[in-house]
Amino acid sequence: MRRAIFPGSFDPLTLGHHDIILRGITLFDELIIAIGVNAEKKYMFSLEERTRFISEAFKDEPKIKVVTYKGLTIDFCKEVEAHFILRGLRNPGDFEFEKAIAHTNRELSEIETVFLLTSSGKSFISSSIVRDVIRNGGDYTGLVPKTVRVQ
């Protein structure tokens, strides 16, 4: 079975993430959306909200599981027997950052990282931009799936 994880904080899930996930499920038998928990980070949305946003967005996709994890991503991969990490790239800066992580992960394990470029119409979207739009009362609805709603 080709099992991959798509790790991230998803604070919140964006249309860029959504794009990578939909395209990623065509490559793998199972895609685990792995929400990383970092005690050092201050999130806009609770872990429960982030899990709900993702679970609702993909509720009709049997190849997708949504889970949370702590610690090193490669350790989590070993725990769930995933041999691939899926990552999305928006720009050259993302590539350089992700390349360093992928090389480190490969040095520490046998896990391969698979990169997908975000679709051109979504490459400008990031969770930090979405959070800034929300904080400032802007219309964020064109940047996130319908399941992401501020209460």
Q: Hey, which residues are catalytic here?
A: 17, 41, 90, 127
- From CA 105, how far away is CA 4, in angstroms rounded? 14
- From CA 4, how far away is CA 111, in angstroms rounded? 10
For 143, half-sphere exposure in the C-beta direction (CA atoms, 13 angstrom radius) is: 20
Contact between 94 and 122 (Cβ < 8 Å): no
- From CA 76, how far away is CA 78, in angstroms rounded? 5
Helix/strand/coil for 43:
coil
Contact between 116 and 23 (Cβ < 8 Å): yes
